[in-house]
Every structure is written in C-alpha cells, then in structure tokens.
Chain A
Amino acid sequence: MDMINLKIDGLDVSVPKDTTILQAAKQLNIDIPTLCYLKGINEVGSCRVCVVEVEGWRGLHPACVTKVSEGLVVKTATKTVREARQNILELIMANHNRECLSCARNTNCELQKLCNDAGIGDTTFEKKADRGSIDCSGSVVRDPSKCVLCGRCVSVCSNTQNVGVISYAHRGAHTSVTTPYEVELAGLECINCGQCIKVCPVGALQEKDATERVWSALENPDLHVVVQTAPAVRVALGEEFGMPVGTNVEGKMVTALKRLGFVKVFDTNFSADLTIMEEGTELINRINNGGKLPMITSCSPGWIKFCEHNYHEFLENLSTCKSPQQMFGAVAKSYYPQKAGVDPKKVFVVSVMPCTAKKYEADREEMKVDGLRDIDAVITTRELAKMIKQARIEFEKLPDSCYDSILGASTGAGVIFGNTGGVMEAALRTVADILTGKDLKEIEYTAVRGMEGIREATVNISGMDLKVAIVNGTGNAAKLLDKIKAGEANYHFIEVMACPGGCINGGGQPIIMDKSKTEEVKQKRIEGIYAIDKSRAKRKSHENPEIKALYDEYLGKPGEHKSHKLLHTHYTAR
C-alpha cells in the first residue's frame, strides 16, 4: 500500500493514501476536535472546529476533509489555531440556546464538551438567530433554538434513511435546519426512527418524553402497572451508568423496574417468541398456499411507516403480525388479566424500548383490541435511565432479579430480535423445525448475521431453498425494494429493521458521545445480544414454555381466530 509520511505536531506518522489529517492525528493520539464530522455520514467540513495549520498553506484547513500528502507539516494547536477554534466555538455557542442545566443532553453534549475543553467563557454577543420554534408533534422533538446547523441529522435522514423530511433552508444568518414550510414533523413522512437524535451533537433533537406519564401511572393506586423491556435495552442501559458497552444488565434492570414500582416486570423477548410463532406460521402458509411473497417482517415501526409512505406496492408483502411490543400489549390486556384476576381496564402497560418509533406505533389508531389500547406508554432506554436516576437508585450496585411469570419467559430466539438479522434467524430456527419435523441442533444461522446494510442468504430447509435477505437502515431497504421492483432480485422472506445495525442502535438507545466509537459500540451491543442467546437453555421460540401455555390455555393455534384478533394488524397507504 502507498504510505504517506507526514509530521503532526512534531511527530512523524505514516498513513495510507487518502487518509485525512484527522485520522492521521488520531494514530498519534492527537484528538483534533470535531463537530459536524460524522464518518461516512456527514463529511462536509462546514463547522470549521477541526481547523489546523499546514506549513506553507494559506489559511487554516479542516482536518476532517483534508487528505494527507507527502511531507505535510501539520500543527494542530498553535496560537492561530486555538484562537480560531475559540472564536468559532463562541460563534456557535452564541446562537445556541444555552439552557444547559435543564437540557436532556447536559453533561452528554458535544458542544458543551468542546467549549469546556477549549476553555470558552461566556459570550458577549446578545442577539439570537431565529431558527424556528420547538416542534413536539411527533415521537421526535425538534428544538431549533439548540440547533448548531452541523447538518448531521439532515445527512442521516436523507442519505442513510432515505426519508429526507428535514433539510437546510434559507441562507446566511437565517439558515436553519427545518421541515418544508416549517410544518410539524408529525404531518410529514418522518418515520420516527430517531436516528437524527442519535447523531445530534446537542439537545436539538430528543424523543418526546413520557417519563412523567409513567411516573403518574405508577403513583396511581387504581392502576395495575406492568412493564415490558425490549431485547436491545438490556445490552445498552448499562452505558448510561458508566458500565462497559455491551454489558448485559438484564438482572439489574429488572430489579430497578421493581423498585420503581411496576407490579410485574415482563419481557418483550417473550412476545418476540410469540411473534415468531405467528410470523413463522404465516411464512409457511404463504409459501405453501401461494401467498404474496416475499414476506417482509413488520417488527420495526419505522420501517412500516417508511413502507406505507414510499412503497405502497409492498404493503401486502408485509407480515400481518403486530410487532412484539404490540403483541405483548394485546396479551397483557387479555390473557394476563384473566390469569392474574385483575380488571383488564386497570392494566397499564409500559414499554421500555430502544426505539422512538415505538411511541408512534403504540399510538396508531388500530393498535387496540376491544377498545383497550395495547400499550399505554412507551419510554426509551434513555428515559428509563432517567427514571432510575430520578429515583436515586444506584444501578450498578443492584442485585439481579428475574422476570415475572407469565409473560417473562423467553428463549435465545427472542433476544436476538435486537440485532439486525435476529428476527430472520429466530424465524428460521422455528420454521426449520416445523418443516423438518425435527429438533434441529444446528441453529446458528451465521449467514444472516453481520453488519452490512444488505445481506442475502439461501437456506436449505428439508430440500427447499429458502431465499432470504436482511436489510438494516431504510435507505438500504429502499435499495433492495427497488431491485425487487426492477425484477433484479427476489426472495421468500426479508427482514427489515429501520435502524442501521438493528434495534441495538435504535433511536432510543444511549447516545454514543464519542462518535468515532459508533461502529465499535454497535458491534459490542450485538455481541452482548448473541452472548445472551448462547447462554440460554432454550433457543427456539416454540420451546418457550410460557408461549406453549399461552396457546394451550388461551389462543389455540397460531394464526387462528383469537390470535388473529389479538396479534395481527393491517397497514395503510400514506
């Protein structure tokens, strides 16, 4: 490989061609500050926080987009650089709503850290640019007064997710990041995926907070408040308490939830297993009875809304199964109260999700059975951490507890729903057993695992080649669907997760402050999930004893009348 030699702050370094000054500096443990830069997503060099001096070059240059060349002599912290950086940070800060103490991103804010590191005092500038008013209409809340115009959200929304409901508008001092005509997000094609929140360096993008709603339910003696926790929450929540990335904190989380006052702590893994029973059956039926193929998973509400807006011709391909969150709610308000002897009307179901779109999903008109909403409140992993902190619980020191019965047992198949490829693998485990009539031992479908945006595999099950595809990120979903539309690809079964990497990187997961660690963090969360799967005695959904009991005692068979009423749904072209 062609290596380029250069000097940064007096230190020699040799890097491959096309490396940026920023990356080269990192090799020398020189941490050039950045703000707008987001590797692979937003490499635009516009904030100018990362400017450095290059000997012989006029002016200062953005390290994030300036490629190295032979013999370059770079200085990253000269007086000129420091002064420029301080001015730039002051300029950004001056138009930023500095209500840091009451901001959800306090102590977790990239701008705050940058200003602090650079030793910026307060600013003497008084005027504030009007970048629009706060929009609380959807699951994602936008506060333009905090926006620093870095453009990361615009890039992730347009390029990664192919949604594009926000963009730069106006110019000069009036520049803003906004929706068309400054309308509310809720009325647009926003899929509520929350990826914009994850990339926002400051508190300009947040989930709509539901913690107060949950607190008041917990404090209401008339309500029977139960909670479910999604698979991906347990491998990320620990990060909010300084624990190593990928740590499985399931036991502590259950204890914390009990301390918070939930009557029962249940697991979405349980209803993930239930989903597999329904979805697996649906897939087999579609294949055997000439149903619409490919069948596409329906667990990811961001993906569902994306499809409803942009790919009407695929609505019939979507599995009619509700997502695990909604299936849980439906069961928690029918089967559970019957068994527990409580009034279903008094059951208040809270979901803890790695996802912001789950808030929207729970509020969808059709997500109710016999007048009872499946889900009453959805909080994200971040909001749960907030509640634990509000309750002054020392999370790291908590003992472990187990999930409650009768909606708490789960298999390894349920937990892998949190990873891209997980729903597919879980489905394959059950479908293969059903079709072969055997208890197969080879259950790790490694071909469907991985982080690539689009993956394909052919799985042979009892003589039939099942062609499957797994996509994560709606931008990738669009690419795949376009290929199918063009007749260039076809499959039996497709798993789509709206967020890159799957739910482990959902819009409701802990913010990764050091964006250079994003891929590493995703990988560790994924590994955390697979480790849980591996540790389980039962790793196939149909082996879940509580699921078996649910069917035996209440539902009958998958896909039959009662299941259909409780566990299936329909879609709307939007």
Chain B
Amino acid sequence: MESVKEVIKRYGNSKDNLIQIMLELQQLSGKNYLPDAWVKEAAEELGMPLSKVYGVITFYAMFSTEPRGKYVIEVCKSGPCHVSGSENIVHILEKELGIKPGETTADGLFTLELSSCFGACDIAPAVKIGENVHGNLTADSLKDLIISYREGLTYGNN
C-alpha cells in the first residue's frame, strides 16, 4: 500500500493539495476514514499546524475521523428526495441493517449516513453506496440492493 509520504510526493507538498491528499488517504485506509497517525504525518509533511488540518477534515462532509464500514450508504435527505419518500428509505435501512444513521454494522460492512443532495434527484429516492448511486428505490429494491452488497455482488468498482 502507498504510504502517506508517497501520496504527498505524488501531489507535491503544497498546502493547496491537502484536500486532494486527504481524499486519497481516506480511500487507501480501507475503512473509509482518516487514521489520526496519517493525518498527523501529513500535517508535518505539509508543514501545517495539526489544528488547521483538523479544521479542514472536520469541515468537509466526506471525511471521517472514525473508521467506517466498507460500504458507506448515504441517504439523501434534501428536498427532492424528501418529497419522494427518503424518510421511508432511512427507516427501511435502519431496520435492515440494525443501525441508526452515523453507526456502522457490527460486521464492519455498512455505515449508514444521512447526506445532502448528491444530484440524483431525477431518480429520487436515491442512496449512494461508495461511488455508486442507486435510485428509484422501493422497499423491495432497496432490500435486494443490500443483499447484493452483503453477498459481494457489488456494483461497479468497489
């Protein structure tokens, strides 16, 4: 696996690249998060106070400082999805996964999160799992979707 130093080397050690570097590191972590030690190392490499780096990674919604599941399921709760029944989607997922938003399943497979609009309004209600967006969800199709991820029939390139 690429180290923090290698990622920074690829981007260049300019502070400008902090967000891009952090996005990469989060992907590398395997648990969709930014390990403290990596963040500290990156802060040193970039010559930035840790407080500033922490300020950045807690500002942007995509970053997590806590380990998350292999699949982060984001449910859009913005207007278009709201009027298309996103609340039901949350309830179904809570029941299916046995977790509340912000939590991770015991097997480390799923984290459930509520998110802002990710531009899938034409197929609302929608969820985003990793990079993949799944829309026009019904109770049944959502349950099938979860099963397919559980069984490793993952969509796309995870």
B55 engages A169 (CB within 8 Å): yes
A179 at the B interface (CB under 8 A) = yes
**A181-B36, A181-B65 given; A169·B49 CB < 8 A:** no
Of residues B49, B52, B65, which shows the largest number of chain A Cβ atoms within 10 Å of its Cβ? B49
Nearest A-chain residue to B50, judged by Cβ: A180
Q: Which residues of A contact B53 (CB under 8 A)?
A: 180
A344 at the B interface (CB under 8 A) = no
Nearest B-chain residue to A158, judged by Cβ: B49
**A181-B36, A181-B65 given; A166·B51 CB < 8 A:** yes
Rounded to whole angstroms, the CA-CA distance of A181 and B38 in the bound complex is 13
B58 at the A interface (CB under 8 A) = yes
Shortest CB-to-CB span from B154 to chain A, Å, is 31
User: How many residues on B have C-beta within 8 angstroms of the other chain's C-beta atoms?
Assistant: 11
Rounded to whole angstroms, the CA-CA distance of A169 and B54 in the bound complex is 7
A170 engages B52 (CB within 8 Å): no
A245 at the B interface (CB under 8 A) = no
Q: Which residues of A contact B52 (CB under 8 A)?
A: 158, 164, 167
Of residues B36, B50, B52, B58, which shows the largest number of chain A Cβ atoms within 10 Å of its Cβ? B58
Rounded to whole angstroms, the CA-CA distance of A170 and B54 in the bound complex is 9
B51 engages A167 (CB within 8 Å): yes
Within 8 A of A (CB), among B30-73: 36, 49-55, 58-59, 65
Within 8 A of B (CB), among A191-232: none
Interface of B, secondary structure class, is helix
Within 8 A of B (CB), among A141-200: 158, 164-171, 178-181
Nearest A-chain residue to B65, judged by Cβ: A181
Rounded to whole angstroms, the CA-CA distance of A120 and B84 in the bound complex is 42
B36, B49, B59: which contacts A170 (Cβ < 8 A)?
B59
Nearest A-chain residue to B60, judged by Cβ: A171
Rounded to whole angstroms, the CA-CA distance of A165 and B52 in the bound complex is 9
Nearest B-chain residue to A164, judged by Cβ: B49
A180 engages B51 (CB within 8 Å): yes
Nearest B-chain residue to A165, judged by Cβ: B51
Q: Which residues of A contact B49 (CB under 8 A)?
A: 158, 164-165, 167
Q: Which residues of B contact A178 (CB under 8 A)?
A: 54
B59 engages A169 (CB within 8 Å): yes
A168 engages B65 (CB within 8 Å): no
Nearest A-chain residue to B59, judged by Cβ: A171
Nearest B-chain residue to A176, judged by Cβ: B58
B55 engages A168 (CB within 8 Å): yes
A158, A164, A166, A170: which contacts B58 (Cβ < 8 A)?
A170
Q: Which residues of B contact A169 (CB under 8 A)?
A: 51, 54-55, 58-59
Rounded to whole angstroms, the CA-CA distance of A168 and B58 in the bound complex is 9
Q: Which residues of B contact A168 (CB under 8 A)?
A: 55
Rounded to whole angstroms, the CA-CA distance of A52 and B18 in the bound complex is 38
Rounded to whole angstroms, the CA-CA distance of A65 and B17 in the bound complex is 30
Interface bits A26-39 vs B (CB < 8 Å: 1, else 0)? 00000000000000
Of residues A164, A168, A169, A180, which shows the largest number of chain B Cβ atoms within 10 Å of its Cβ? A180
Nearest B-chain residue to A179, judged by Cβ: B51
Rounded to whole angstroms, the CA-CA distance of A180 and B53 in the bound complex is 8
Q: Which residues of B contact A170 (CB under 8 A)?
A: 58-59
Q: Which residues of B contact A180 (CB under 8 A)?
A: 50-51, 53-54
Nearest B-chain residue to A167, judged by Cβ: B51
Rounded to whole angstroms, the CA-CA distance of A167 and B49 in the bound complex is 9
Q: Which residues of A contact B54 (CB under 8 A)?
A: 167, 169, 178, 180-181
Nearest A-chain residue to B54, judged by Cβ: A180
Rounded to whole angstroms, the CA-CA distance of A164 and B51 in the bound complex is 7
B51 engages A171 (CB within 8 Å): no
Rounded to whole angstroms, the CA-CA distance of A166 and B55 in the bound complex is 9
Q: Which residues of A contact B55 (CB under 8 A)?
A: 167-169
Q: Which residues of B contact A179 (CB under 8 A)?
A: 51
Q: Which residues of B contact A164 (CB under 8 A)?
A: 49, 51-52
Shortest CB-to-CB span from A408 to chain B, Å, is 43
Q: Which residues of A contact B51 (CB under 8 A)?
A: 158, 164-167, 169, 179-180
Rounded to whole angstroms, the CA-CA distance of A180 and B34 in the bound complex is 13
Shortest CB-to-CB span from A106 to chain B, Å, is 30
Nearest B-chain residue to A154, judged by Cβ: B51
Shortest CB-to-CB span from A336 to chain B, Å, is 43
Shortest CB-to-CB span from B48 to chain A, Å, is 9
Shortest CB-to-CB span from B46 to chain A, Å, is 13
Rounded to whole angstroms, the CA-CA distance of A47 and B86 in the bound complex is 35
Shortest CB-to-CB span from B53 to chain A, Å, is 7
Nearest B-chain residue to A174, judged by Cβ: B58
Rounded to whole angstroms, the CA-CA distance of A168 and B52 in the bound complex is 8
Shortest CB-to-CB span from A413 to chain B, Å, is 38
Interface bits B10-21 vs A (CB < 8 Å: 1, else 0)? 000000000000
Rounded to whole angstroms, the CA-CA distance of A167 and B59 in the bound complex is 12
Shortest CB-to-CB span from A170 to chain B, Å, is 5
Rounded to whole angstroms, the CA-CA distance of A185 and B53 in the bound complex is 17
Rounded to whole angstroms, the CA-CA distance of A169 and B58 in the bound complex is 6
Q: Which residues of B contact A165 (CB under 8 A)?
A: 49, 51
Shortest CB-to-CB span from A137 to chain B, Å, is 16
Q: Which residues of A contact B50 (CB under 8 A)?
A: 180
Q: Which residues of B contact A171 (CB under 8 A)?
A: 58-59
Rounded to whole angstroms, the CA-CA distance of A180 and B50 in the bound complex is 6
Shortest CB-to-CB span from A142 to chain B, Å, is 13
Q: A164-B51, A180-B51 are in contact. List 10 more A-B contacts (CB 8 A).
A: A164-B52, A167-B54, A167-B55, A168-B55, A169-B55, A169-B58, A170-B59, A171-B59, A179-B51, A181-B65
Query: What are 26 A-to-B residue pairs whose CB atoms are below 8 Å?
Result: A158-B49, A158-B51, A158-B52, A164-B49, A164-B51, A164-B52, A165-B49, A165-B51, A166-B51, A167-B49, A167-B51, A167-B52, A168-B55, A169-B51, A169-B54, A169-B58, A169-B59, A170-B59, A171-B58, A171-B59, A179-B51, A180-B50, A180-B53, A180-B54, A181-B36, A181-B65
Q: 10 tightest CB-CB pairs across the interface, nearest first?
A: A164-B49, A167-B51, A180-B54, A180-B50, A167-B55, A169-B58, A170-B58, A180-B51, A169-B55, A171-B59
